[in-house]
Structure 1
Amino acid sequence: MIDVLGNGSAPRLVVFDLDGTLYPKEAYAEQVLAVIGRMFVELQGTSAAHADAKTAELREAMRTNWSGTSTTSFVRANGFDVAQWLEYREAHLSIADGLERDENLVRELARLREVVPIVLLTNNTRSSATAILDKIGLGAGGFTQVFSSEDSGDTPKPDPGAFRVVLDRCGVPAARTWSVGDRVDIDIEPLRRLGGAGIAVDGPADLAAAVDHLIGLARQG
């Protein structure tokens, strides 16, 4: 089921999230939790018990408030900087290994791409995002542009600065840009704060409905 958070505009650009949006969040959460626990021990020298407590805290946040929980924000709040997190994640996390090609996803995004440009905005590194996109069948070429952690720098989602990078490079005003993601607070609200709109989905099974809605709006505008 989708949740449309519109502004009355016809989209000239659609920005997609990656984790939990283009593949199921279940393939993401436990792997990320394990890597974060290991990072506490190896980089901060904490005890295994402390690391377990921290990952339990994050797991509970994911369970009760998935829409508002950002792993990047969590590690930053616990003393890691963005570069440190990305380097460790790149070395120890390989979400792509557990994924497979999704023909429905490929078809739906191709259908939307015929009507309006689509881009990807993710807090993943470019190499990690590319590996995931290749595995699910889209490839980086499935999008007009791919924006990764290397592009957003010190302003990763949920910072609106990540969306400002996309808008500036694509030359599209926020008011004509829509975001599609599985977490309202992380993927939708930062763009809405700039004047944009969005559609919240529970995962890839909802993308057909989101695409139908966006195509309808684009053709009206």
Structure 2
Amino acid sequence: MLTSLDQVRSIVFDLDGTLYTSPAIVEEIQAAAEMMVADSRGVSRSKGRELLRLARRRLAEELEQEPTLTRTCLEMGIEVREFHRALRQQIHPERHLSPDPVLCALLDSLREHCDLYIYTNNSLALAGKILALLGVEEQFARLYTIEFAWTPKPDPDTLQRILEDIGGPAESFLFIGDRRQVDLSLPESLGIPTLLIGETSDLLQIHKLLGIIP
């Protein structure tokens, strides 16, 4: 447990499900994946949905954890670049998101004490659009998106590259995400403090955790 703000210099946020939640965007991403699977197999979307579900369940059993959608599509022979190219074309966050002044104020206050980063499986184009729609695109020192290594989270090599790029000992980081296995387990294994978010309102815990407010 963190007891001193002086320990943390870099806060690394997940994006989807952490800085915002949108069931509509989740549905759009799922639909895009189902259509890619269907098109690659020459079957209907409903059949593509079933194939995707079965592949995800099989992969979960192999990994002993729930896989990301990107990882599942990769296992089905859909290239990561191809998957994210389709998402850029078919996902429309502008239909579902608007500026979040509470999030903006929270991040702005944190930035007085720490550098803020994003580590996401999203592409740079989509992540940038989402952050702009939320009104927080200027708050982050750098975005680590799928293009950084073309390998979806969780991936130890990519994480190590990010840590080296930012710089600092383990205790100088705080990783924040909504999925423990995907976002937090690897940092935790390196002795990095983490915070699991159940909903975006949980972000208010960060100030208490770092001792910014009583």
Superposition TM-score, scaled by structure 2 size: 0.84
For 1:126 and 1:76, the matched residues in 2 are separated by: 19
Q: CA distance change for structure 1 residues 59 and 43 in 2, over 3 Å: closer, same or farther?
A: closer
Which letter does structure 1 place at the counterpart of 2:51? K
Q: Tell me the alpha carbon deviations over residues 49-94 of structure 1, each in whole angstroms, 9 at most, x when there is no partner.
A: 3213135558999xxxxx9441111212222121221122222222
Instruction: Confirm whether residue 137 of structure 1 aligns to residue 135 of structure 2.
Output: yes
2:113 is matched with 115
2:9 is matched with 12
Contact 2:13 2:175 in 1 (8 A): yes
Which letter does structure 2 place at the counterpart of 1:199? L
Q: CA distance change for structure 1 residues 207 and 27 in 2, over 3 Å: closer, same or farther?
A: farther
Q: CA deviation at 1:24?
A: 0.8
Give the percent of matched residue pairs that are identical in Structure 1 and Structure 2. 27
1:138 counterpart SS class:
coil
- Which blocks of at least 5 consecutive residues in structure 2 are unaligned? 59-64
Q: Which has the higher contact order (CA 8 A, sep 6+)?
A: 1
Which letter does structure 2 place at the counterpart of 1:176? S
Q: CA distance change for structure 1 residues 30 and 55 in 2, over 3 Å: closer, same or farther?
A: farther
1:28 is matched with 25
Q: CA distance change for structure 1 residues 25 and 189 in 2, over 3 Å: closer, same or farther?
A: farther
Q: Tell me the alpha carbon deviations over residues 27-62 of structure 1, each in whole angstroms, 9 at most, x when there is no partner.
A: 43211111111111223323333213135558999x
2:83 is matched with 85
1:178 is matched with 174
For 1:72 and 1:135, the matched residues in 2 are separated by: 23
For 1:172 and 1:96, the matched residues in 2 are separated by: 36
1:53 is matched with 50
Contact 1:27 1:99 in 2 (8 A): no
2:176 counterpart SS class:
strand
- Which blocks of at least 5 consecutive residues in structure 1 are unaligned? 1-5, 62-66
Q: Tell me the alpha carbon deviations over residues 75-129 of structure 1, each in whole angstroms, 9 at most, x when there is no partner.
A: 1222212122112222222234311111111111111111111111111111111
Among residues 183, 188, 195, which one is paired with 2:184 in the alignment?
Answer: 188
2:35 is matched with 38
2:98 is matched with 100
Q: CA distance change for structure 1 residues 32 and 60 in 2, over 3 Å: closer, same or farther?
A: farther
Which letter does structure 2 place at the counterpart of 1:151? F
Which letter does structure 2 place at the counterpart of 1:116? C
Q: CA deviation at 1:201?
A: 0.4
2:77 counterpart SS class:
coil
Which letter does structure 1 place at the counterpart of 2:198? D
Superposition TM-score, scaled by structure 1 size: 0.82
Aligned residues between the structures: 205
